[in-house]
Structure 1
Amino acid sequence: MTLACLAAISQQKALTIKDYPKWSRIVTPTISNDGKWFAYAHRPNGGDDTLIIKNLDAEKQYKVKFAQSPRFSEDSKWVTYTTKPSKEEDKKLKKNKKPAFNTAWVMNLETGEKSAVERVESSTLSAGLNYFAVLRKKPTEDNSKHEGKDLILRKLADGTITNIGNVSNYAFNKKGTLLAYTVDADGKSGNGVYLLTLATGELKTLDTDTLKYEKISWDDDNALRKDWALKGKSLAVLKGSARDTTLHKINSLVVFTNVGTPAYKKQIFTTQSLNALPKEMIISENREVSFSEDGTSVFFGIRQQEQKIKMSKDTVANVDVWHWKDDYIQSVQMRRAEQNKKFTFLCAVDLNTENFSKLADESLRQIITSRHSIYAVGRDEKPYLNDVNWGVSPADLYRINLKDGSRQLFAKNVNRPLGGSPDGRYYLYQLDSSLYVVDLTSNKVTNVSKAAPVKFMNMEHPYPHEKPPFGVEGWIKDGKGVIVNHKYDLWLLALDGSKATNLTGGLGDKQEIHFTYVSLDPLEEFVDLKKPITLYAYGEWTKKTGFYSLAPGKTPVAIIYEDRAFSTPLKALNADRIVFNSQ
C-alpha cells in the first residue's frame, strides 16, 4: 500500500491580521482510479482557488488558476474541471449588472492538451466510453422562454463533438453506454424524451408531446458499482403542463423499461389511470422520481391540486393568522412556508401490476427508503408536536410496505434514530438509553445493547433533552452485527442481542483516545472484520491524531500518531494507493 501525504508545516511565530490572507487550505481532493494522479484546489483565505493536478509517479504537475471541481475519467487519462471569474472580476461584473459565466474544461493528462466550453450550466463525465457532456447556459441576449439549451457532447477518445439543441435535462446511465435527454423547444416543437446509444450513435425517440418533460431518472442512479452491468436499462420522467384555472401543473409519469432491447416497454401513468389516487391529488414535479432497488417500482410525489383565485390588485394580504391549536407555532410556520408549499406525499407504482400505493399522508409525512425493495421506515411526529423538545424531533416509527402502503408500528417516542444497514434490512435507534434494531423483514425488535456492560448514550452531553448516542461506525459483512461508538472505544453488538464485544480492547478508555473506523475501500458497503481494519485516532487531552491498525482479535497498533491533524484518507479505486493531508 502506497501512502502520499500533503503536509502543511507551521512555524512558531506571532500571528497578526496581516497573516490572515496567507493562510490556505486544501479543498476538493480527488484521486484517479489507477492511483497515478491526484488533484486538489489550493484555497487562500479570501482568495481564489488554484487547482493542482499532480502525477504521483513522475515530476509532472499542472496548475490552473480560478479552477475547482476536478474529476478524473474512468480510465484515468483525462481530468475535467470548472473555471470561474476571479473574485475581483466577479465584483466588477456584479457592479455592471453583467452575468458571471463559468467554463468547463477537459484535459488530456498525458499531453496537457485541453479544450473548453463556455457558459456552463452543468457538466458530467460518463463511464465506459468516456464522454464529456456540458449543458450550456443561454447567451445573455437570448430572451426565449423555452428551457432548452445546447448540450455539447465530446467523445474523449477522438475529440468528436456533437451539439444537441434544446436540451432541458440529460443523464448517462452509470456504465456510460446510454445518454437520455429531454427536449424543451421554442413553440414546443420536438419536445420529448430521446435516447442516444453512445457506441453506435443511434438515436431513438422514446416519447414526444407538446408538454414539458422533467425529472429524468435512471434505474441505476443509486446503484452500487457491482450492479451497474445489470441495470441502466430503465428510466422514468414526468411530463405535464400548467392550466389557467389551477395553481399546479398536471403531470403524467412515463416509464421506459428495457430500453434498447426486444423487451422494451413504455408505460404512462396519468392522474386518471392511477387507481386509488385520492381525489384532487396530482403527480407533482416538486419531488424527484426514482426506482426501487429491484427496479419493479417507481417512487414519485403527489400533492393537492388548488384552484386559482383571481384577486383584486387592491387586495394585498398583510396579516399572518394563526391559532394556538396549530400543529406548529407561527415562527416555525413562517420559516417553513416555502418548504411546505413544495411538500409532496411519497407514492409508488408497481410496474408489473400497475398498482398505486400512497405511502405517506398527513400523519406520516416522512418515509425513509433504502436498498430494501419491499419495506421502508415511516416517521409520525404528530403525537409529540405540542411537547417541549430541545434539539430533538420525537416520532413513532412504522414499517411501511412499499407494495401496498400498509404500515406496522415498531417503536414509539423515538428521539434518536441512527439509520439503517446498507441493504436496508435493519434499522437502528436509541430508546431509553438502550440501542434497538428492527428487522424489517419480520418487524422484530431487539435490544442489541443489553449484553454490553456500558451505555452507549453520551451522559456528558450538556443539553436538557434525551442524551444522544455516541454514534454508529458501520455494519459488519456477515450481517450479524453493528459497530457502535462508546466514548473512546468501538463495540461490536450482535443483532440478536446475544453478545457485545469491545473491538478496541479498552485501549481507548485506557489512553483516552477516540477511535473511529476509516474505510479504505471506495466500494465498501459492510465492514469486514475478518481482515485488518484501519482506525482514526484522536487524543482527548494530547490532541494528537493519526491512524491505527486493528487485526482480528488483536489490540489496535499505531501506524502514525503525531502532534498534527490528518484528513480522511482517499484510496484509489483500482490501486493500493492512499492520499491524505496533514497540518
Structure 2
Amino acid sequence: MRKQLLLLWLFALTVQVAFAQDAPKPMSWKDVATWKSMPSGGFKLSPDGQWLAYVLTGIEADGELILQKTADPASKKSFPIGNASFASFEFSDNSQLIAFKEYPKFAEKQANEKAKGKPLKEKLHLIKLGSEDKKTFEGVSGFSFNNEAASHLIINLPKEGNGDAKGSDLLIYHLATGKSQNLGNVREHAANKAGTHLAYSVDAANSQGNGLYLLTMASNSIQVLDSDEAGYQSINWTEKGEAFAALKMKKDKKYKQDKGAVLGVKNLSNPQVTLYEPAKDSTGFDQKYTISPNRRPMWSEDLTRLFYGIHPLVLAEKESPKKATNTDSLKLAESENLAKIMADTTIKSIADLQKAIGKLNSSKSDDKKANDAKKPEMTIWHWNDDRLQSRQQVMENMDKTYSFWAMYDVTGKKHFALQDSSMRDLSLLPYQQFALGSDQQAYELDINLNGQTYRDYFIVDLKTGAKTPLFEKFYQPSFASMPRPSTDGKKLLYGKDGHFYVYDITAKTHTNLTEKLPVSMVDVEDDHNVIKPLYNPLGWSSDSRYVLVRDGWDIWQIPMSAKETPLNLTQNGKKEKIRYQYRISLDSDEKGIDLTKTVYLRTYGENTKKSGFATLSPAKSGLTAGAKTLLWEDANIQGLTKAKKAAVYTFTKEKFNQPTQVYLTDATLANAKQVTENAPDAGKFAWSIGVKLIDNVTAKGDSLQAALFLPAGYVEGQKYPTVVYYYEKLSQTLHNWSNPGYSGTGWSPSLYTSNGYAVLIPDIVYKMDDPGMSAVWAVLPAVDAAIKTGVIDENKMGLHGHSWGGYQTSFLITQTTRFKAAAAGAPLTNMISMYDLIYWNSGGGNMSIFEASQGRFFGGPWENWEAYERNSPIYHVKNVQTPLLMLHNDKDGAVDFTQGVEYYNALRRLKKPVIMVQYLGENHGLGKLENRKDYSVRMMEFFDHHLKGLPAPEWMSKGVPRLKLGEHLEERAF
C-alpha cells in the first residue's frame, strides 16, 4: 500500500512538473532577444498566386524562410537565412523560381566582431519551385531577376580592391542553360520592364573602358553606346522600357564638380543615342552651370525631350604655389636694407644699429604672419535669416547638391532651363506637357517663426519653358490642400478656404467642387492652430473625369462635368460612425483610380474599433453608390494585396493578444484561410487574455475612449497594477498586436501584460493654450472610468509616455498624486524655455511647433505668458510627490537635453524622488541595442518596485557612483 501511494505521488509530481514546464510563462526581457517573428514586408506571393514565402527573423536569433504552395500547407519547407535585420527574397515574374539571401549566423557575427575580422560573406540561393533543385552562389551583395522575362538572374558581387574604380563584378546567370557570364567593373545596371535589355555602365581602374553599354538578353550581344574617360551613372528606364537616359560626368580641375552631359537611348533594336553636352553649347546653355549628378535624367512620355538637373559650377580652390627662391631678388633686398641703415642718420651707436636691424626683421615677420593667418571658425546668426543657421547647417549638403530641372528638345536640339533660384521647386506633371512650380522663399522666415505655411505656385509650359503665376501666397493648413495633378496632367485639384477646387490648366479656369455638398470636407477634429484643414482626398480617376474626396466618414465622387451630380459613394459612414479611410491600390502600375473596376476600401469603426474591407462597384459612368462590406471584425484587419497575375488575395489580421497572420482568399475575401505561422514561439508565453473599450467624457465634455488591455492570467474581480500610457489619440490601437521588442523608448505593452500588468491607453484631445491641462482633463476621467471595470488597482497605478507623452507625464504628476510611479522619456518640462530652443534633428526652431503644430499655443510666451507658465511642469514642481524615472539623452535632437536637466535639478533641489538616466551619444530615442535592452529592464524594475512591491535594485535605491558604473553595467549586460 505504501509503495502504491509512493508511485501515485511520484506520478502526480511528474504530471505537475510536466504541466509546469508546458504552461505558458511570462515573457522576460532576455526572451525577447531570441523571439522570432515576421517583419514588415516579410511576406510575398508568387505572381501566379500559387506559391507563398515569408521570413521569420529575430534580434539575436537565426532566421528562416518558409516556402509553400498556397493550396497545399503540407508542402511547407523551411530554409535557414542566418541572422538578418532585413531579409531579401524574390519570386521570378514567371513564378518558376525564388531567390533569397542567406546571411552569416548570429554566433558567427559575434565571433567575427570580437576577432575584428573582415566582413563576412553572404550567400544567394536559387530554388526551382516544385522541385529539389537548388543552386547556391557564394559571396554576393545583391541580386534581381530581369523583370518580366525572368530569363536571367543578375547578381552583384562585392567590390574588392580595384583602386579608385567604382565598378565591381556583375554575374549574369542564364536560367535556361545554367551558364554564368561575368561583366567586370560594372558601376550601375538596370533591366527594362520587359527584361529584354540590360543597360549598364563600366567604371574601371584608370577609366579604361569606361562607358555605357547595352546587353540584349536573348542574343547575349553587347553594344557600346558611349565610351570615354568619364563616369556614367543614373541609368533611368522609361516606365514602358523602350528607352532610357543616363548621365556622363567628366572631371574638370578648374571646378569642384564634374561637368555633366546627358545621354538618351531609344530604338533598342538599333540603338539611337542622343548625347547633349552643355560644354559645347555656348549659346544655348549658361556656361556658369553644368548638368548635375544629383537628379536622375528622364525621357518625356513621347520620347521627344530629355529632362535633367543643372546646378552652378563652383571654382576649385587654388593652392598657393610655392615660389622658387630668387637669389638675385634676395641680394637686392639685402642691399636695399643695408642702404636704408647706412642712410639713417639717427644711428649713433651699436645699440641704435641693433634696434634698426630688429625693426627690419619685425616688419618681415609681420608680413609673413599676415599671409599665414588662419581664418576663424564661427557662425553669424542674423535676425533676418530666413532659416536659422542651425537649419542651414543641417541642410548644407542638400543645398550644395540642389539642382534645377532643365529640358533638351531632341528634335530642335535646344536646351531650356525650367527653373532657377526664384522658383526652388518644380514637379513635372503626367505626360510632361506642364510642370507645377512653387516657391516659399518670400514667406520662409515667417513660416519658421509661426508655422503657418504659404507658397507661391506657377505653371510651366514644358514646350516653351514659359512660367505663368498660378497662386500668390497660397495658404496650406495641411498636406491635403497642396495642388495635385490629374492623371492626364491637364488639371490640378487643390484645397482653399475649406473647399476643394479644380484648376483647368489649358482653359485657365477655377471650379469649386464642394461648395454645394451637404457636408464639409474640413477636418474639424484637427485641434492644431491652423485654419480649415481638409481631409486628404483619395485622388483622381484614371480617366481624369472624377475626383474622390472624404468628409472624414464617407467618400464622395465629384465629376468634372457640370452635367453630372456629386455622389456619396459610401452613404452610411457618418450615420454609423464608420470611417472609409482609404482606397487600396492592388495594381502597382495603375495610373489614377480605375472606376471601371471594383474599388476596395479599408474601413474602421470609430466607436467600435472594428475594421475590415468594403467595395464599391463600377457603373456605366463612375461608381455606384453604396458600399458592400466584405470583412468587418473585432480585429485589426489591413494589408490587402493581390497576386500580380492572378485573382489571389491576401490580408493581415491581428489582435492585441494574437500575432499578425496572413490570410489567403479570393476577390470576395470570403472563406479566408490562415497561411502563416508568425511568432511560432507565442504559445510558450503568457499573453493578455483580452481587451476592454472604455467610453469616457473629459472634464471639458468631450466624448473619448480608452483601450484597456487585461493582464495575462486575469481573474475577474481581482485588481491589477496598471501602467497608463498615452500619446494624443491611441484608442485605435485596441486590436493592434504589439510585437515584443526592445523599443527606443523602453516601452513594450505586450511585455507588461505578459508580466501581470494591466495597460490603459486613453485618448487625449487638446484645447488651445492648454496642452498640459488637456491631458489632466482627459486622462483622469478615463482612469476613473477604467477603475469602474474592477480591473485596475487604483493604489498601484503608474504613468509612462515618451516625448510629447513624456511631457504629459511630467505635467500630470504636478497636478495629481494618484499615481505611485511615473516614467517620462525625453520630456518637455519648461514650455517657455523650450519655445526658444532648437529642434536639432532638423535645425529648425521650436516656435513654429509651439504655435501651429503639437504645442497648440496662440503666439509666443511674451504675448501669452500665463498659458505657457500654466502648462509648464517646471513651474509646478513643488507639487510633485510621485517617484519619477526620467530618460533623457545628451544628444537628443528633438527635445533639448537641458529640458531634462532643468526638471531633474528642480526636483532634486526639493528632494523629490527622481532618477534620470542618460545614454551617451543617443538621440531622442535609444538606437544602440545594448542601450535599448538596458533601459527596457530598468523601467520595468522601476514599476515592479513601486507598483508590485518588489525590492528596489541598488541602482534605484542608492544610485551608482561614477567609479563603479563600469562594473555595474558589465554585471547587467545580457
Same fold (TM over 0.5): yes
Question: 1:471 aligns to what?
Answer: 536
Question: 2:584 aligns to what?
Answer: 518
In the alignment, the residues of structure 1 paired with residue 597 and residue 213 of structure 2 have an alpha-carbon distance, to the nearest angstrom, of: 47
In the alignment, the residues of structure 1 paired with residue 376 and residue 252 of structure 2 have an alpha-carbon distance, to the nearest angstrom, of: 24
Cα distance, 1:558 vs structure 2: 2.1
Residues 274 and 468 (structure 1 numbering): CA distance in 2 closer, same or farther, change over 3 Å?
farther
Q: Does 1:27 align with 2:40?
A: yes
In the alignment, the residues of structure 2 paired with residue 88 and residue 464 of structure 1 have an alpha-carbon distance, to the nearest angstrom, of: 53
Residues 532 and 233 (structure 1 numbering): CA distance in 2 closer, same or farther, change over 3 Å?
closer
In the alignment, the residues of structure 1 paired with residue 100 and residue 24 of structure 2 have an alpha-carbon distance, to the nearest angstrom, of: 36
Q: Secondary structure at the match of 1:206?
A: strand
Q: Does 1:188 align with 2:242?
A: no
- Output the amino acid matched with 1:269: E
Question: 1:238 aligns to what?
Answer: 247
Paired residue total: 559
Residues 112 and 522 (structure 1 numbering): CA distance in 2 closer, same or farther, change over 3 Å?
farther
1:151 and 1:165 in contact (8 A); partners too: yes
Q: 2:66 aligns with which of 52, 57, 60?
A: 52
- Output the amino acid matched with 2:206: G
Greater C-alpha Rg: 2
Question: 1:290 aligns to what?
Answer: 298
In the alignment, the residues of structure 2 paired with residue 441 and residue 93 of structure 1 have an alpha-carbon distance, to the nearest angstrom, of: 64
Q: 2:88 aligns with which of 57, 69, 81?
A: 69
Equivalence map 1:132-531=2 (5 Å): 132-139=153-160, 142=161, 144-218=163-237, 220=238, 223=239, 228=240, 232-261=241-270, 264-273=272-281, 275-310=283-318, 315=374, 318-388=377-447, 393-412=453-472, 413-415=474-476, 416-417=481-482, 419-496=484-561, 499-505=565-571, 507-515=572-580, 516-531=582-597
In the alignment, the residues of structure 1 paired with residue 247 and residue 97 of structure 2 have an alpha-carbon distance, to the nearest angstrom, of: 34
1:283 and 1:303 in contact (8 A); partners too: yes
Cα distance, 1:430 vs structure 2: 1.3
Q: Which has the higher contact order (CA 8 A, sep 6+)?
A: 1
In the alignment, the residues of structure 1 paired with residue 204 and residue 437 of structure 2 have an alpha-carbon distance, to the nearest angstrom, of: 40
In the alignment, the residues of structure 1 paired with residue 468 and residue 168 of structure 2 have an alpha-carbon distance, to the nearest angstrom, of: 47
Q: Secondary structure at the match of 1:472?
A: coil
In the alignment, the residues of structure 2 paired with residue 358 and residue 468 of structure 1 have an alpha-carbon distance, to the nearest angstrom, of: 35
Q: Secondary structure at the match of 1:387?
A: helix
Higher strand share: 1
Cα distance, 1:117 vs structure 2: 3.5
Cα distance, 1:39 vs structure 2: 2.1
- Output the amino acid matched with 1:151: L
Q: 1:99 aligns with which of 119, 140, 143?
A: 119
Cα distance, 1:295 vs structure 2: 1.8
- Output the amino acid matched with 1:63: S
In the alignment, the residues of structure 1 paired with residue 507 and residue 58 of structure 2 have an alpha-carbon distance, to the nearest angstrom, of: 54
Cα distance, 1:160 vs structure 2: 1.7
Q: Does 1:81 align with 2:100?
A: yes
In the alignment, the residues of structure 2 paired with residue 239 and residue 521 of structure 1 have an alpha-carbon distance, to the nearest angstrom, of: 34
Give CA deviations for 1:525-573 in whole Å, capped at 9, x if unaligned: 3334455432211111221111123335343232121111123211112
Cα distance, 1:397 vs structure 2: 1.5
Cα distance, 1:502 vs structure 2: 1.2
Moved more, 409-418 or 341-350: 409-418
In the alignment, the residues of structure 2 paired with residue 452 and residue 471 of structure 1 have an alpha-carbon distance, to the nearest angstrom, of: 17
Cα distance, 1:24 vs structure 2: 3.0
Residues 386 and 302 (structure 1 numbering): CA distance in 2 closer, same or farther, change over 3 Å?
same
2:278 and 2:285 in contact (8 A); partners too: no
Give CA deviations for 1:244-288 in whole Å, capped at 9, x if unaligned: 332111122222332323x73443323232743223111111211
Residues 48 and 23 (structure 1 numbering): CA distance in 2 closer, same or farther, change over 3 Å?
closer
- Output the amino acid matched with 1:306: V
Give unpaired runs (5+ residues) of structure 1. 1-10
Residues 543 and 495 (structure 1 numbering): CA distance in 2 closer, same or farther, change over 3 Å?
same
RMSD: 2.7
Give CA deviations for 1:425-466 in whole Å, capped at 9, x if unaligned: 332221111112223343432222222222212122122124
Q: 2:130 aligns with which of 104, 110, 122?
A: 110
Cα distance, 1:321 vs structure 2: 2.7
Cα distance, 1:364 vs structure 2: 0.9
- Output the amino acid matched with 2:212: V
Give CA deviations for 1:194-219 in whole Å, capped at 9, x if unaligned: 1111111121111111222212222x
- Output the amino acid matched with 1:31: L
1:259 and 1:265 in contact (8 A); partners too: no
Residues 117 and 406 (structure 1 numbering): CA distance in 2 closer, same or farther, change over 3 Å?
farther
Q: Secondary structure at the match of 1:377?
A: strand
- Output the amino acid matched with 1:526: G
Moved more, 282-291 or 464-473: 464-473
Residues 45 and 106 (structure 1 numbering): CA distance in 2 closer, same or farther, change over 3 Å?
same
Question: 1:42 aligns to what?
Answer: 56
Report the TM-score, using the length of structure 1 for normalisation.
0.88
User: How many percent of aligned residue pairs carry the same amino acid?
Assistant: 29
Cα distance, 1:13 vs structure 2: 9.3
1:129 and 1:177 in contact (8 A); partners too: no
In the alignment, the residues of structure 2 paired with residue 333 and residue 568 of structure 1 have an alpha-carbon distance, to the nearest angstrom, of: 39
In the alignment, the residues of structure 2 paired with residue 446 and residue 87 of structure 1 have an alpha-carbon distance, to the nearest angstrom, of: 61
Residues 435 and 267 (structure 1 numbering): CA distance in 2 closer, same or farther, change over 3 Å?
same
Q: Secondary structure at the match of 2:636?
A: coil
Q: Secondary structure at the match of 1:487?
A: coil
Residues 40 and 429 (structure 1 numbering): CA distance in 2 closer, same or farther, change over 3 Å?
farther
Report the TM-score, using the length of structure 2 for normalisation.
0.54
In the alignment, the residues of structure 2 paired with residue 522 and residue 212 of structure 1 have an alpha-carbon distance, to the nearest angstrom, of: 32
Cα distance, 1:512 vs structure 2: 1.1
Residues 331 and 295 (structure 1 numbering): CA distance in 2 closer, same or farther, change over 3 Å?
same
Give CA deviations for 1:314-337 in whole Å, capped at 9, x if unaligned: 746521234332332212111111
In the alignment, the residues of structure 1 paired with residue 157 and residue 63 of structure 2 have an alpha-carbon distance, to the nearest angstrom, of: 23
Residues 474 and 149 (structure 1 numbering): CA distance in 2 closer, same or farther, change over 3 Å?
same
In the alignment, the residues of structure 1 paired with residue 167 and residue 402 of structure 2 have an alpha-carbon distance, to the nearest angstrom, of: 26
In the alignment, the residues of structure 1 paired with residue 283 and residue 25 of structure 2 have an alpha-carbon distance, to the nearest angstrom, of: 73
2:261 and 2:275 in contact (8 A); partners too: no
Cα distance, 1:178 vs structure 2: 1.0
Q: 1:548 aligns with which of 610, 614, 619?
A: 614
- Output the amino acid matched with 2:469: L
Cα distance, 1:410 vs structure 2: 1.9
Give unpaired runs (5+ residues) of structure 2. 1-22, 321-371, 618-622, 655-974
Question: 1:559 aligns to what?
Answer: 630
Cα distance, 1:580 vs structure 2: 1.6
